[in-house]
Every structure is written in C-alpha cells, then in structure tokens.
Copies of this chain bind each other. A is one copy, B any other.
C-alpha cells in the first residue's frame, strides 16, 4: 500500500501488538494456532484505515493502536471460521489452521481471536467495545444472510448490497469510525469517515466478487468461479440474471460452470455493469472525504479506493 511514510511505522507498531496478543497464551498450541494466519502475511487494510482515520483528530493515542489491532484480530477470527465452513485448505499460501490442526482447533482458535480482539477493544475503552462488537455482529448476520441466499438467482441487487454491507463493509466502517473516535475527532468528521468506510467496503467486496469470475487465478490465489460453484450469486451474476432470463433459468437448473456462465455475463453487459457499480461507489467513497481537507492522510484514503479498484484493472473489459 502506498501511503505517508509515518503509516509504515504505525503499522509496524500495530503488527508487534498483534503478534504479542495472538501469541500471549501460555498454551503453545493456542499461541501457535492463533498466530498462524497473521504470520503468513496479509495487507492489514483495516488497521491502516483506523490509523489513517485517526488523523481526523489527535493521532498517536494508545487507544488508536489498540483499536487497529482489535479490528484485525476480529477479521482474522472470521477468516478462521470461514475456512472451517468452506473446508479451505490453503490461504495466503500456507495451510489453514483448519487443515493443519483440524476443525476443533480452528473453531476455538477463531473464538480465542475474537476474545483477544474484544479484550484489546476493552483496553482501548470509550466507544470502541460497542463499535467493535456491533461490527462483529453485522459480519455474522451478513454471512448467515449470504448462506441463506445460496442458489437464489432471483435475489435483487438491493438484497446483495445489504448482505455485503453487513458481511464486509460494516467492519471497514467500524475501522474508520474507531480511528476517528479514539482520536477524539468531531462528530461530523467521524460520520464522514464511517460513511467512507462503508462505501469503500462495498467497492472492496464487489471487486472481490468480480475477481472471482474474471481474475487471474495465479493472482487471486484460488481457482476462478469458486463463488459460482458454491451457489454464491454475486453482483455480476445477479445483474446477468436480470438482463438474460435464459441465464437465470440455467442457474436455477443448477448450472455452475464458469465456462458456460462467464461468456453470457460478458455478452449481456453484466460484467461491465458490475464494474460501473464499483466505480460509482468508489466515487461515493471519495466524495465523503471532500470536507476533510487535503492532508496526506486524506490523500492516502483516496489512494486506498483507487488501490482497491486497481486490483481488477487488468481484468476490465477492453483492458490491454
């Protein structure tokens, strides 16, 4: 991620806190399983959002670092449980906890990371525990909603958006809001940053969903069409079903092959339309920053939006 140089130092400090927290158990297996995915890397996008947003007030407070680490622990915990549910064997190029220690340890180590995240949130104090646990509750609601919508080719775009707002964007919004509130930012700046986080989260998930269909498997690190195969019908597919009733009928009869579905999505313009949707939300995210000035941290938050979009630039229709 490109950002102000101070961000690198801030993230290193949070990284130390993350490793110390996840590895704090006296039980070697707990410490090892809880640190496993963290040590395999990751972009630390959510902590970066907390740290950047804290410049809307008085940055550098301990509570901000604690909130930044807390939101990443909650995110990692949800990945542990995702891997249990999906039976995923590798993530970030290493075996998942689920694959290495089995289902029980993966469920419990996820729970342990939730607890440690909440504990850091408690140490941060103020409104952080409430914002964090509300964020986590929304992630779970969104995942259950997605689970219930498996195979539903008639789901509306509104329902899709509501689901990913809960599943993904709520934690981005929480990250930005915690950055602002731990720094004592004014209510209006805090609201703007929360809305920015929500819009950014939508862009992030739409791009992720697009990459699952059109991305380079070597870059996205998983076989393309995974969502489709599991019956998770994301924005491009839902837009396709509206435009091409024949495609919807195929999906409802159980068609899940990417080589059948993708050409029809391209043909009817659904891929283009999904990219246009992401661009529109990206504009909305940037627009929420307009009243916040032009300091380096605001520029960096704009760059985060472009960076999320850029992940799929080479896969846009017409890109060379």
Contact = CB atoms under 8 A, between A and B. Distances in A.
Instruction: Give the copy number.
Output: 2
A241 interface: no
Interface of A: 25-27, 29-30, 33, 78, 81, 84-85, 103-105, 107-112, 114-116, 118-119, 121-123, 129-130, 132-134, 136-137, 139-141, 143-145, 147-148
Best-buried of A132, A133, A136 by chain B (most CB within 10 Å):
A133
Nearest to A116: B137
Contacts of A105: 144, 147
A275 to B, nearest CB: 29
Contacts of A123: 130
B140 A118 contact: no
Nearest to A28: B148
Contacts of A112: 137, 140-141, 144
A112 B122 CA distance: 18
Contacts of A140: 30, 108-109, 111-112, 115
Contacts of A116: 133, 137
A137 to B, nearest CB: 4
Given A119-B133, A123-B130, A133-B118, A25 B141 contact: yes
Given A81-B108, A115-B133, A122-B132, 16 more contacts: A27-B145, A29-B145, A33-B144, A84-B103, A84-B107, A85-B107, A104-B143, A104-B144, A105-B147, A111-B140, A112-B144, A114-B114, A115-B134, A119-B137, A122-B129, A122-B130
A30 B119 contact: no
B81 A143 contact: no
B147 A104 contact: yes
Nearest to A123: B130
A116 B132 CA distance: 11
B111 A85 contact: no
A135 to B, nearest CB: 8
A83 to B, nearest CB: 11
Given A107-B81, A129-B121, A115 B137 contact: yes
A27 B147 CA distance: 12
Contacts of A109: 140, 144
A85 B103 contact: yes
23 contacts: A27-B141, A27-B145, A29-B144, A30-B141, A30-B144, A30-B145, A104-B144, A104-B147, A105-B144, A107-B107, A108-B140, A108-B143, A108-B147, A109-B140, A114-B114, A114-B136, A118-B118, A118-B129, A119-B130, A119-B137, A122-B129, A122-B132, A122-B133
